[in-house]
């Protein structure tokens, strides 16, 4: 494993931080806003924040594309939160409201919601449409992790 620091994007101010891999589990804080880099909750992303998290983070980012009017999306939300508690700090979980970020939904050709998409190294590496329980989300995300 490399001894180079990992780039971790803050879920609060979206600043890129350098964190040693060995320190991921030690509750690191953001160097700019001093908030925790890991909250065990999905981070809500708009278009600008999405691009920062996908392009600048060394961590894989699991994104839930959803909409407020979608019943299955609302039903899956607690499971996605539970998955965040299990997958952090090895993976960032994020939510993109496709109603508020229609350009992102179009850019990634999101045809049904909820849709999970896993990004690593700035690109999409896996996609899964449909609602899932927490254990299935965790299992699916870990099975497609590339780092």
By annotation, the residues acting in catalysis are 70, 73
DSSP string for the chain: ---SPEEEE-TTT--EEEE-GGGGGG--B-TTT--BS--SSPEE--HHHHHHHHHH-SS-EEEEEE-TT-HHHHHHHHHHHHHHHHHTTTSEEEEEETTT-HHHHHHTT--SSSEEEEEETTEEEEEEES---HHHHHHHHHHH---
């Amino acid at each position: 494993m490399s001894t180079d620091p990992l780039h971790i994007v803050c879920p609060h101010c979206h600043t890129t931080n350098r964190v040693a891999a060995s320190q991921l589990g030690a509750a690191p804080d953001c160097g700019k806003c001093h908030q925790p880099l890991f909250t065990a909750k999905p981070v809500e992303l708009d278009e600008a924040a999405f691009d920062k998290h996908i392009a600048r983070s060394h961590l894989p980012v699991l994104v839930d594309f959803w909409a407020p009017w979608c019943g299955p999306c609302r039903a899956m939300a607690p499971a996605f939160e539970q998955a965040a508690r299990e997958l952090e700090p090895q993976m960032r979980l994020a939510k993109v409201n496709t109603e508020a970020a229609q350009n992102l939904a179009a850019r990634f050709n999101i045809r049904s919601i909820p849709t999970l998409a896993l990004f690593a190294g700035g690109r999409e590496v896996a996609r899964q449409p449909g609602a899932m329980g927490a254990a299935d989300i965790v299992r699916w995300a870990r099975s497609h992790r590339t780092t």
